[in-house]
């Protein structure tokens, strides 16, 4: 995969329970470059998750198109909720997107080792903390060696220390397994820690209010030292 071109002429949600119809996107265009870490920043309800679902092919009820230049990418998706199957072990959850057999099991176990959970491979999700469940979700997203990684507030509801550790883990995983990333958050600090580019959405229908590149090394080091407390792109 070399680039994603998103062109949404119109996306609406139908009226529900007597409420009004909602126009989410109109004449919305966005390009994502290969191996870019693009953060979609904005308030809840603007359509950031909807945009990820459109790119993933999970939402096809829109007018427009998503073009991938080059071959169609392998897509990994990390959701707000870890979405682990409670009746499957940690290892079985990670192996879900892989072909059945010993090779898939070995790949899943290796990825669990990369996120520091190999010793919990036989455990069930109910035994895990939320932070551990989110590590399992990361492992499942990476185990297919994705070309494109979609992440919808994957560290929400964690305390800042755990969220920071998982962002560091994500950075380490991407160094070993490079991918293009589209990452949704409403947290500016989180955006500055991970992004190479921040696209801020505003309004109804959603529009691109700001689109700025980020020097990840400078921003990340400054945040770690505490010299950047809050900043808007």
Domain encompassing residue 130: 82-144
Q: Average per-residue pLDDT in the chain?
A: 91
By CB neighbour count within 10 A (0-12 exposed, 13-18 middle, 19+ buried), where does 81 fall?
middle
Of 47-51, 205-209, 217-221, give the lowest mean pLDDT range. Answer: 217-221
Residue 112 placed within a domain: yes
| Band (107; pLDDT cuts 50, 70, 90) | very high
Would you give the distance in Å from CA 109 to the centre of its chain? 22
Assigned domain for 129 exists: yes
Residue 221, pLDDT score? 57
The answer to whether position 4 is within a domain reads: no
Residue 96 lies in a domain: yes
90 inside domain: yes
pLDDT tens-digit series, residues 209-221 = 999 999 766 555 5
Residue 97 lies in a domain: yes
* Structural domain contains residue 113: yes
pTM: 0.90
Q: What total number of domains does the chain contain?
A: 1
pLDDT interval class at 71 (50, 70, 90): confident
User: Taking each helix axis from N to C terminus, what angle separates 130-142 and 102-114, rounded to the nearest 10 degrees?
Assistant: 130
Read off the pLDDT of residues 135-159 as tens digits, 9 standing for 90 and up: 999 999 999 999 999 999 999 889 9
- Domain membership flag for residue 118: yes
């Amino acid at each position: 995969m070399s680039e994603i071109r998103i062109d949404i002429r119109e996306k609406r949600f139908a009226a529900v329970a007597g409420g009004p119809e909602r126009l989410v996107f109109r004449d919305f265009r966005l390009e994502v470059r290969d191996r870019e870490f693009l953060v979609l920043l904005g308030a809840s309800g603007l359509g950031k998750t909807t945009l990820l679902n459109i790119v993933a092919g999970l939402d096809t009820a829109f007018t427009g198109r998503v073009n991938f230049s080059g071959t169609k990418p392998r897509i990994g998706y990390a959701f707000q909720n870890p979405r682990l199957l409670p009746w499957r072990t940690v290892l079985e959850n990670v192996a879900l997107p892989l072909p059945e057999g010993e090779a898939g099991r070995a790949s899943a176990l290796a990825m669990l080792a990369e996120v520091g959970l190999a010793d919990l491979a036989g455990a069930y999700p109910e035994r895990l903390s939320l932070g551990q469940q989110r590590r399992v979700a990361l492992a499942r997203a990476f185990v297919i060696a994705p070309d494109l990684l979609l992440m919808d507030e994957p560290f929400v509801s964690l305390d800042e220390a755990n969220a920071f550790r998982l962002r560091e883990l994500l950075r380490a995983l991407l160094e070993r397994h490079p991918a293009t990333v589209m990452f949704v958050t409403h947290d500016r600090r989180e955006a500055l820690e991970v992004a190479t580019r921040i696209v801020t959405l505003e309004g109804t229908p959603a529009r691109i209010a700001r689109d700025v590149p980020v020097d990840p090394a400078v921003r990340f080091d400054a945040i770690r030292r505490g010299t950047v407390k809050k900043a808007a792109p």
